[in-house]
Amino acid sequence: MKMVKILADKIFLKLFYQNLTDSKILLRLLTVAKLNDLLIIFELCKNILVGNVDISQKDVNKLKFYEKDLIFLSEKNKSLKNKINLLKRKIELFKTLILIGNDFILK
């Protein structure tokens, strides 16, 4: 069962990555996403914060601006609706997370 969930997460991450340049499609995907589809992004936020993910200095500098948002996304007690709304409002943060996720998880 866990293997199916991980594969579903990766499939959704690939969908995000394939549509990275089209913000309208990303917003639509976020609108239809379920918790299981986005867990990989939220776990990535947590791992970035604790230093388990090797990222470039350029990405570190981008993410410093969004530190509070990364903390919010990594917290389990926050609602999915609020997390999705945050990602919709801060689409550049979402795009950066997709790029990091592609480099760290999909390759």
pLDDT digit string (tens) for 19-52?
999 999 999 999 998 888 898 899 999 999 998 8
C-alpha 41/C-alpha 97 separation (Å) is 7
In the chain, the number of structural domains is 1
pTM higher than the cut 0.85: yes
pLDDT at 52: 87
Give the structural domain span for 102. Answer: 2-106
C-alpha 81/C-alpha 65 separation (Å) is 22
Which amino acid type is present at position 57? Q
Residue 79, both tokens: 């609602």
pLDDT digit string (tens) for 62-83?
999 999 999 999 999 999 999 9
